[in-house]
Amino acid sequence: MKKRNNAYMAMMPYIILAIVLVGAFFFLNTGREITHELKTGELISEIREENVTEITITPKSSESIYIVEGKLKDYEDNESFTARVIGEEIQTITDYAEEQKIKEYETNKDPGSNEFIYILVNFLPIVIIVIAAYFMFTRLAAGNNKSMDFGRSRAKLSEDGGQVRFKDVAGLKEEKEEVQELIDFLKNPKKFQKLGARIPKGVLLVGPPGTGKTLLAKAVAGEANVPFYYISGSDFVELFVGVGASRVRDMFKQAKQTAPCLIFIDEIDAVGRQRGTGLGGGHDEREQTLNQLLTEMDGFGANEGIIIIAATNRPDVLDPALLRPGRFDRQVTVSLPDSNEREEILKVHAKNKIFDKEVNLKNVSKRTPGYSGADLENLLNEAALLAVRRNKEAITMDEIDEATDRVLLGPAKTSRKITEKEKRLVAIHEAGHAVIGLKLQDAQEVHKITIIPRGMAGGYTMMLPKEEKIGIMTKDELIAQITGLLGGRASEENFMDEITTGASDDLKRATKIARSMVTEYGMSDLGPIQLEEKHEGVFLGRDYTKSRDFSDQVALEIDQEVRKILESCYKEAKKLLAKHETLVLLIADALMEHETLTKEQIDYLVEHGKLTAEVMQEKDSEETKVEKTLEELKEEAKEKGLKGYTKMTKEELEEALKEEKEEE
């Protein structure tokens, strides 16, 4: 009853407005003209005295009545008279009018439906206003005064769960197994209830952008074939405090009516950030929305049959209450794909594209470590666009190579004018990176060198890991990586006797690795201690007031250790480049002539000391050859009965198997 009274109170301004509009309408209509009612005798007297200047006679068909309208001499412009004349009296009026020859004398025909038109014109606007006001008030009352539907849920419903299935999601084998239980529960809940098992109320998909979190959620809904609500975290938050909480309540109310069902919240960090943070306190609207979400997930009421899947790439900013058991019970990490998964993803996105027979997606997958599923889709799309631009019938390796460079650094700036000195500097710089990669034991493998400007870079050297790892790196590998980054600056100083600004990004990356070695990984003389944690200033209030866990003396020692690592690596780079001076100058000269060198051309140049026209024109035959992984080589060695194969490296296994084949 109280809610209804509140709704009526909210209607009062609209009712008052409607009354004012209707009053204004009547005032304007009545104040525009002044009409005098004359009796038949008065009208005849005025005509006899020749006071009538205008007269109009209109017969009425339903009765023997005539409507006479006109003006008198002493009337103002907005004054007129009207009279109702019955039967025979009209003849007297018409005779006098014709006798006096009144200038504006007119006799109308029977208007028939004029009364209806008159009513329509005068009363239809009022009817429209009343009907519009009625529907407006009804809607307000039905919405319990929620300010024009602001409190309604923005979640969209897909009755059949959508068209995406697990077969449409390449890779993510372990992740699919983790969410398979949800599908089994939605299809056959009694199997779990029989053993007293409780299915997770919420599953949080965590991973870098573009790895397929949203696609995996769609596939879960598609496989389960249940109603699927999907909404973004930002759809809850509004200008008015309390609207987001109202939307959460409404969303769960709708979900209960269609249970069992799935709710997918994309980018949940927009609404699930930690409460009470920031210099000025919290965010009332967002925090109330989060409180309501927490209550709905595991409050006094039970939401049986409703499973929530949420996705974010920032789990570190989420409120701890959101991640406790009973709410998001399970976290599924959707990481970047490995080589085999990248190949599967490439095959999915290659279905509607035409490739040249020389293109081998397995080798493309090996050349793209660190790429997400979205990156790979973008790579093939860029290659297709380039093929169309070049008027080709199919996508070749040339387009894929160019697309890789475009995705990393942007389009090549071939029209930019470069002086010979600048070109030589870039060639020497990139040759320094390449020689470190070729001659340092733990360095990454050189795949491509170019001195064609792209984006902000004058050139670049593509270096990829020799073997794909899960993310663990040794100290020697980190030192080799820093040495490789400093190889460009060392080469400039060794062979050009000057240093340039071209190494700024290399120095930034090298310094970051060195500092992480000292403060995070415990790889310095300070010992196995973590002095800093990775954080990116998510909450200004929290990080602004955070104190350091070490003294100024330790801070000085950290700086000294970082400098020691960088100086040691720089000296090693200069020493290695001085030792292989001939190779540096050889690669630099080849870059000056050809601008871009591939891995096969670099290997040929190192082995023969020159590049022939056949090598430069030859298609990349290695791209069509499928390289075997270390596990495949070990399996082949096992079949051939090769001794000691388990302790061999990939290169040693390839050489041993080659010798075995030659002996056969």
Tokens representing residue 273 in the block: 């950030």
Type of residue at 321: A
**Nearest-angstrom CA–CA distance, 595 and 449:** 8
Q: Rounded to 10 degrees, what is the CA torsion of 186, 188, 190, 193?
A: -50
Q: At 309, phi and psi to the nearest 5? A: -115, 130
Nearest to 268 by CA among 317, 307, 201, 199: 317
Rounded to whole angstroms, the Cα distance separating 409 from 262 reads: 40
The gap between the terminal CA atoms of the chain, to the nearest Å, is 95
498 is catalytic: no
Q: In 3-state terms, what secondary structure has residue 644?
A: coil
How many CB atoms within 10 Å of residue 220?
28
Residues forming beta bridges with residue 55, ordered by sequence position = 70, 105
Q: How far, in Å, CA of 400 to CA of 83, rounded? A: 93
Helix (H, G, I), strand (E, B) or coil at 146: coil
Phi, psi dihedral angles at 263 (to 5 degrees): -120, 125
- Reduced to 3 states (helix: H, G, I; strand: E, B; else coil), residue 535 is coil
- Long-range contact pairs involving 196-201 (C-beta distance under 8 Å, separation at least 24): 199/307, 200/307, 200/328, 200/329, 200/330, 201/297, 201/298, 201/303, 201/306, 201/307, 201/308, 201/326, 201/327, 201/328, 201/329
Catalytic residue among 223, 382, 402, 430: 430
User: Token pair for residue 577?
Assistant: 């480049």
Q: Is 436 exposed, middle or buried (0-12, 13-18, 19+ CB in 10 A)?
A: buried
Q: What are phi and psi of 418, to 5 degrees?
A: -125, 135
Give 441's contacts (C-beta < 8 A, 6+ positions apart): 476, 480
How far is residue 498's CA from residue 594's CA, in Å, rounded to a whole number? 24
Report the catalytic residues. Answer: 430
